[in-house]
Structure formats: structure tokens, C-alpha cells
Structure 1
Amino acid sequence: MPKLNETELKQRIAQGQLANIFFLYGQEDFFVSKYAKEIIDKVVAKQFESFNLNWFHGDKLSLDELEDAIESLPMMADRKCVVVQNLDIDGLSKSDYEKLNELLKSPNEMTVVVFFANKIQYDVKKSSRVKTFLNFVQKDGIVCEFTIKDKSTLKRELCSRAKKESVELDMPIAEYFIDRCSMNYGILIKELDKLIHYVKGMNQGFEITKKAIDLCCIPTIESNAFKLSNAIVQKNYEKAFLLLDELFYQRQEPLAILGALDMCFYDLYRAKVAIESGKTAEEVQSDFGYSPTRSFAIRNAFRDARASSTVQIRRYINILAETDYKLKSSKADQQLLLEQMIAKMI
């Protein structure tokens, strides 16, 4: 069977066109879990779950027990379901990997096997074993990868979800919300639900504003690091130190802060060199393999690159490298080292 997208998988589940094997994975763990549950619910009636639903966790998987579960017959039903959650395919021994492949060659027709990964990520490009296994499953089963949705889709879905709760969220505010919190739909939904309860409880006209987002939603380290790098480039001393204080208040590790800043200035350097070479943001994104979750980063870098010279950006990167060495080799106070770094950069 061909690899399905989310729409095709949703349609198959709704129509009851289920394969014997499913493999669901991807960056959007919210949807991985959602559709795994829908498949399970379609196969197994609630009152018979104790008989017809077997659940295995990848780190504790016994191939013998999995085989018994797959081969055993359902009770008081036409089908049963066997679930394998977060299987580390690369971590399997050679014998277990071969046994798993052999086991899935001709599974019991009354058993639907669902593999889903909502806590681990598979790198199909780098892992030949994962790629081979997915191709194997795809021959007779269904494989579906849930990639991060683009920002336009996320904005529409967030605005629509807010509207269903009689709360107004316009598109520019939705974009600000995404930039502050995440491109991950699961995280955004949790934060949006929090915002909806907040504006309703505060009786603020049932409208989500930037102020409400700033009050209720904790920004990602990447979001604050981008603002911090921008403040450094703009020579805004006060804003830079306020943002650094906010990161420390969130109990972010100094090395994590430095790592996020590194990414921002590498993005800036790539954008600057690309502009000088007549390259576009799309070309840089493709050449350097930026994931969909970071496409905004290179666009922002192109926007801000003109504020600094190439020489200046190289100086920033050298200071970051020096601070990285000090953090890893010195016993000096790490917060102080980062503060000194900001002062030197500005």
C-alpha cells in the first residue's frame, strides 16, 4: 500500500478500511497519538478491551509475548488489536529485528497491529534499518508520517478552535502566539485552552490579545533566544539583559541558552552571506536542511541580517565560542559568564 497522508488515513479509519498493520510516526506526536487511538477504538469495543487489546511498550518488548498476542484469537469479536508504542527499531538486536520482520510477514488476519511513536523520533534518512522496516510494513500495511504543519495551517486551525469556544483570535495574534510558544500542534492546543479559560474567566471581551499571551504562555527558549539575539544586534542593552534574566527565571540551563543563541547567530550569518551571494531564504532552507519547524528562523534572519556586517556577525560567533569553552572548562559562575558575554557582544 502507498504511504498515506493524514487526510487519507482519516478517511480510511472513518470507512473502516483497516489494514492488518499500521505504523504511525512523525514530529507531530499529538496526531500520532490521536490516530492511534482512533484505530484502536475502531477495532476494539470498550467492553472487550481486557480481552482484545494487548499493549506493549517498546523498551520492554518481548518478541515471544508479541507473537503470542498477535497469533491468539479475539474473544466475542471479529478482530483484536495489538499495540506497540515507541519501539526503538535501531535498538533491537539483529535476531529480534529479524524475528519481528518474520512475525509481520503473515500476521493473523483477525489481528490489527498498531505501531506508533509519540515519544521517539525516527530518522528515516539516516537509519537504513528504520527505512527498510517502514518499506516492509508498507507492502501490506499502512504507514503514515505526521510532519509539523505549516504556519498558515496552524493559524487557521487555532482561530477555528477558538471560535468554537466563542473566543476571538485573529490571524496576526495567532502568528504571534505560534512564534512565542511553538510550531508543535499539541503544545499549541494546550496553551490555547489555557488562554481560552483565562479570557473567559477574566471577562476580557472573549478576545485573545498579545497581553493575554504574554501573561499566560511561557515562551520557548528558542523564542526568547531570538529576541535576545535581536536585542544584541540592535545594541539594546537594557532589553538584552531583561531577556537574559527571564531565561534564568525560567530555570533554563546556561548551556541551553548559549546553544539557542548559537543557532540564532548561525542563522544570521548564513542569511547575511546568502544575501551577499544573491541567494534566497528558500535556497538557504533547502541547502542547510532546515526542518519545517525552523523555516521561520531563516526568514527572520534574512529580515534582520542587514543590521550587522559580516565581520560583526563573525565577531558575535567568536564570542559565543569563547563563552562555550569557559562554561565547559571553568568553575566560574555560569550566569556571570553569560552576562559578561552579552556585555562584550553589545
Structure 2
Amino acid sequence: MAKLSETELRKSIKEQNMESIYYLYGNEKLLVRHYTNKLTEKIAGKSPSEFSFHVFSGADDIDQIAIAANVLPFMGGKNYVNIKDLDACRLSDTAFAKLLEMLANLPDTTSVVISALTIMPDMSKTKNKKLVAEIARLGVVAELNKIGQAALEKQLASWARKQGATLTEAEAQRLIRYCGTDLSTLQNELEKLCAYAYGREITQEDIEKTVVKNLEARVFDLSKFVLTGQYDKAFGQLDMLFYQKEEPVSILAVLASAYVDMYRVRVAIENGKKTADIAACFDYKRKEFRLTNAQRYAKGLPTAALRESLAALIEVDEKMKSTPCDKQVLLQELIVKLMLLAKKEYDVG
């Protein structure tokens, strides 16, 4: 009985070292759902009896859950109870006490899986902490969080192999840049890619043709065109974002974050630091590629230009949020200003 890592949980299920109580939570919801399904299949089987298979939501009556937990399984096997999205701090003191009593007195024939499929229980709250401690004593607790960049790339390559295609490290990085780090999104996009490139290596061209870029990737393309002086491409990309109904405020926020990344990298380098030092100070977990991109595209841009660009971004942000205005026109004017700043500084230095 303990707290297990994702690797330890996977191993215990594979080796069928099963416990009576499981609590699964964390910010990587695909993993929470995946292991809930794995446990369901291992405990209840692929075709469970409706008499010994019970699913509840966190808002359901604890008394009804307790009744289900004490049902004797039909024709042998296990009685299975799954409680989804239980947030203990939302329970009354009476209901919480009943829950703990039920878990402490489960029949040997019953298994309970509590899984936070869509919520993030606040583990600083007393009841949630107490529930986790009790389940860790009686069974297994697994916190399933987002994995690091390198592990994510390996996971994508593994998924690709299982679907009949090959994904290199470089193209895995490209896929993450375009889609973000959400495993569900990456899995869906990779399925399309593997179907398109079945039996061979997935190429950059395949990704460009089939993958739907998220807002961050599309605005990064915009910033790249601005910094490299590609006027037509910059405004073509901006027009496409408007056509796709992206909010100007959202576009501005992502564009500003790209410039903040570049400024952080520049200041770090000027002070003898590395990008790894920036990642340690700010939240770049599974987004390390942003720093790599920032270093590449800020290389020819003087620090003064970055400061003036950030000032221009702040000015437009304040206008958008404080005065009635045509936000699309403001963004268009901003793009022109950013390109002029970059060109002016290049000419000077």
C-alpha cells in the first residue's frame, strides 16, 4: 500500500499486483483516463456483469455508493465500484466520514477506483489530504502529471511504432511545437499522421500537410515572419488568424509571450547564463522548445529593439483592454511597428 509513480502503477497492473482501492489524479487527464480504463478491465473484465459493476460521480449519494460497495459479485469475480471526479472537500463532514468508513471496511470481494477525470482536487485542503493518506494506507494512490519534453518525445515515437510508422526526434519536437503538450491532442494528431504515413518515416512535409496547428504555433509563425522581415507572410498569417476567428486579445497575448521569451533569453545570455537556467526559474516544463526558438530568432535583434518591442506590445495591450477600439486594426498597426523596429535596429547594428 503506497503512493506509486506512473511507471510503478503500469508495472503493478501488468504484473497483476492488484489492490482493493485506487485513487488516480493529476494534471495529465489522458493518463488518468487510461489507467482508470486499465484498472476497470483488469478488475471487472472486458464484459462485466451489470450486477457487480457500479459507476458514480463525485456528486452522488455516499449512502448509495456504500450500498454498491457491499454488493456480492454475481457468479464470482469482483464487485467493481468506480467513483469519478470526487472532490472530498465538497463533501459534508458526515458524508466524508461515511466515505472513510466504507473504504476502511470494504469486503474482500470489492474493488474501488476513485479517478479525477476532469477535476483537479486541491491537495492543500484537509479532506483531500486525509483521503489521499487513508487510501495510500489501504491501497494505491497515483498522481499522474504531465511528463517532461524528452519523455514526451519518446512516448510519441513509441505510439508511432505501434501504429506502423516511424517518428524521429526532430519531427516529434515539431509535432509538439505545433500541437502543444496535451497528450490527448497529440495522440489524435499522431493517429492522423500514422494513417497518412503508414509503413514509413513521418516527414516534415507530412506534418505540415496534416497537423492542425494550435494558436501558439500559428502566432509563433507570425512572430518569425515579423523578425525575419517577411512582410507579406506576416500579414498573410495575421489575416488567416482573423479569418479563423481568433480573438485579437488572444493573438496579442501569445505574440507578447514570444517576445518575453526572447528577452529572457537575451538577458540570461548577457549575464553568462544558459537557457536551462531560465527554464529553472520560470514555467517552461514541456515547453523548452520555446527557449530554443527564442534564442534562434532573437540572435540578430539588439536588446534595445527587444525592449522597444515589449513597450509597444504593452501599449497595445492597455489600449485593447481600456478603450473602445478596432482591435484588428490595432494589431495590424502593431505588426508594422514591430517590423520597423526590427529593421531599424538591424540597420544600426
Interval containing the TM-score (normalised by the shorter chain): 0.7 to 0.9
Matching residue of 1:227: 221
Matching residue of 2:259: 265
Question: After alignment, is 153-162 or 208-217 more displaced?
Answer: 153-162
Cα distance in 1 between the residues matched to 2:310 and 2:318? 13
Matching residue of 1:82: 81
Matching residue of 2:190: 192
> Cα distance, 1:127 vs. partner?
5.3
Residue type at the aligned position of 1:269: Y
- Residue 149, structure 1, aligned to residue 132, structure 2: no
- Residue 26, structure 1, aligned to residue 26, structure 2: yes
- Residue 183, structure 1, aligned to residue 181, structure 2: yes
- Residue 12, structure 1, aligned to residue 5, structure 2: no
Cα distance in 1 between the residues matched to 2:255 and 2:41? 44
- CA distance 1:314–1:129, shift in 2 (3 Å): farther
Matching residue of 1:38: 38
List alignment gaps of at least 5 residues for structure 1: none
Matching residue of 2:114: 115
Q: 3-state SS of the aligned residue for 1:104?
A: helix
> Cα distance, 1:128 vs. partner?
6.0
1:233 and 1:307 in contact (8 A); partners too = no
> Cα distance, 1:99 vs. partner?
4.6
- CA distance 1:309–1:94, shift in 2 (3 Å): farther
Question: After alignment, is 66-75 or 300-309 more displaced?
Answer: 300-309
- CA distance 1:300–1:134, shift in 2 (3 Å): farther
Residue type at the aligned position of 1:295: E
Aligned residues: 339
- Residue 65, structure 1, aligned to residue 46, structure 2: no
Matching residue of 2:309: 316
TM-score w.r.t. length of structure 2: 0.85
Percent identical across equivalent pairs?
33
> Cα distance, 1:217 vs. partner?
0.9
> Cα distance, 1:191 vs. partner?
0.9
- CA distance 1:98–1:303, shift in 2 (3 Å): farther
Cα distance in 2 between the residues matched to 1:281 and 1:29? 29
- CA distance 1:323–1:67, shift in 2 (3 Å): farther
Cα distance in 2 between the residues matched to 1:297 and 1:98? 47
- CA distance 1:74–1:152, shift in 2 (3 Å): same
Write out per-residue CA displacement over residues 186-216 of structure 1, whole angstroms, 9 at most, x where no aligned residue: 322211111222345xxxx844222221121
Cα distance in 1 between the residues matched to 2:170 and 2:213? 17
Write out per-residue CA displacement over residues 116-152 of structure 1, whole angstroms, 9 at most, x where no aligned residue: 223233564x656544433332222212222323333
1:28 and 1:186 in contact (8 A); partners too = no
List alignment gaps of at least 5 residues for structure 2: 340-349
2:9 and 2:142 in contact (8 A); partners too = yes
- Residue 306, structure 1, aligned to residue 299, structure 2: yes
Residue type at the aligned position of 2:78: R
Matching residue of 1:340: 333
> Cα distance, 1:165 vs. partner?
4.0
Q: 3-state SS of the aligned residue for 2:112?
A: strand
Write out per-residue CA displacement over residues 280-316 of structure 1, whole angstroms, 9 at most, x where no aligned residue: 322222222x152223223433444433333332332
TM-score w.r.t. length of structure 1: 0.85
- Which residue of 163, 169, 172 maps to 1:171? 169
Residue type at the aligned position of 2:160: A
